[in-house]
Amino acid sequence: MHTIVLATQKGGSGKSTLAIGLALAARQAGFTVRLIETDPQGTLSSWQRRRTSEDLVVEPIYHAADIAPRLKMLADSGLQLAIVDTAAGLSAATTAAIRHSDLCLIPARPSVADIEATASTLSVARAWKRPFGFVLNQTPIRGQRIDNAADTLAEEAALDLAEVLARPLIAMRNDHQDSLASGLAVSEFAPNGKSADEIRGLWRWIETRLELSATPHLPIDQLVSAADGMLHATSELSADETTTLAP
């Protein structure tokens, strides 16, 4: 199992919306996914209550000591991907999640305050030697501010920009908030829109970064095997009946 954690000091950076969008993009790519909520504000839980489908499970885990054992249990069960949404600030639960992550994604809006706020999260990821990447989120459609923000993030991480900045950038559009209010992911709310394309592109970037590949979903495999067995049994029964009725 791979664990992706979305974390940053600044509130309002879009962690929850990104977590939901990436969870559905991963599911559509063939992965089994669990959304983990460590933020007591409960944005993901509220979203799930508005959702009519039960294909994405949100599991609240608010105590730091519960995170590692629960992630292990999910991994042992065969789950392929856990996406963890964290609270603003740097809590014990957030630190524990980052410690056990395979990738820490640090969302930031293209503002000085947001970029400066990434420093503490970056320090935790580096302290535990965890891979990380920045996601420039809620960006204007175009403008010099985007380039300035990207350059500042690269300086903050003291690494080449290509190594730390996730692509594509996620532009500010109403689709994200409208889908959240509807209990949907953006690729369900407006599947042919630019926002959905960007989220799918971000998931492909993560797949490449983590060298992920989906494996067959076990329950589906079991159903197929059971169906094959029933078909085989039916064929044998038909053959026996034919033999019995033959003159």
228: pLDDT strictly greater than 80? no
pLDDT digits (tens, 9 = 90+) for 54-89: 899 999 999 999 999 999 999 999 999 999 999 999
Most confident of 89-98, 142-151, 155-164: 89-98
Residue 164 near residue 152 (C-beta atoms within 8 A): no
Alpha-carbon distance 162 to 92, whole Å? Answer: 30
| Secondary structure of residue 141 in the 3-state scheme | coil
The identity of residue 191, as a single letter, is P
Alpha-carbon distance 97 to 74, whole Å? Answer: 14
pLDDT bin (cut points 50, 70, 90) of residue 151 is: low
Residue 122 near residue 106 (C-beta atoms within 8 A): yes
Alpha-carbon distance 213 to 229, whole Å? Answer: 29
Cβ neighbours of residue 71 closer than 8 Å, sequence gap 6 or more: 1, 3, 36, 82, 100
Please classify residue 100 by burial: count the beta carbons closer than 10 Å to its beta carbon, then call 0-12 exposed, 13-18 middle and 19+ buried: middle
Place of tokens 């791979």: 2
pLDDT at 153: 67
Domain boundaries, the chain: 2-215, 216-247
pLDDT at 115: 85
Quick one: what percent of the chain has pLDDT higher than 90?
66
pLDDT at 161: 62
Indicate if the alpha-carbon torsion angle 31, 32, 38, 42 is positive or negative.
positive
192: pLDDT strictly greater than 80? yes
Right CATH for 2-215 from 3.40.30.10, 3.30.390.10, 3.40.50.300, 3.90.1300.10: 3.40.50.300
Element (H, E) at 79: none
State the Cα angle at 201 between 195 and 206, rounded to 5°: 130
pLDDT digits (tens, 9 = 90+) for 3-53: 999 999 989 999 999 999 999 999 999 999 999 999 999 999 999 999 998
pLDDT at 100: 98
pLDDT at 185: 96
Alpha-carbon distance 174 to 164, whole Å? Answer: 27
Edge-to-edge order in the sheet of strand 103-108? 57-60, 33-37, 81-85, 2-6, 103-108, 132-139, 170-171
